[in-house]
Amino acid sequence: MEAAIRAKFAKSKLAADKLTVRVQGGVATIEGRTNVVQHKGNATRMAKTAGALAVNNHVVVSDAAKEKAAANLEEGRRRAQIKRGDARSAPRQDGSSDTRKK
């Protein structure tokens, strides 16, 4: 099972993180550091799909990655606040109108 988990990591973007994996009694323990917030959850999912009964995920996410994720989340919230039908940019200067069918 340990080899199967490592193989899944090697085929994915997790390979760059060089995470370590140990399996004992069907329980996988993952350790290491990452600069991408999503890699921590992906490591758990990959271990489970490789057959682990449970996963102890001790991957540490860098502060820079956490800050980037928080900024992206805030930007997404701002975009979501624009209501459908609201102008997303300034009106055209040439006086033309939107030609899409409604």
Q: What is the pLDDT of residue 24?
A: 97
| Integer angstrom CA distances of residue 39 from 16, 18, 22, 53 | 10, 11, 17, 20
- Domain layout of the chain by residue ranges: 2-79
CA pair distance 50, 53, nearest whole angstrom: 9
pLDDT digits (tens, 9 = 90+) for 32-78: 999 999 999 999 999 999 999 999 999 999 999 999 988 888 877 66
Handedness of CA 24, 29, 31, 35 (dihedral sign): positive
CA pair distance 63, 34, nearest whole angstrom: 10
Mean pLDDT of 13-24: 90
Handedness of CA 28, 30, 36, 37 (dihedral sign): positive
Q: What is the DSSP letter of 50?
A: T
pTM (two decimals): 0.69
pLDDT at 26 over 60: yes
Scanning 12-101, the segments in alpha helix (DSSP H) are 37-49, 63-80
Q: Is the CB of residue 63 less than 8 Å from the CB of residue 84?
A: no
Instruction: Look at the domain 2-79 and name its fold.
Output: Histidine-containing Protein; Chain: A; (3.30.1340)
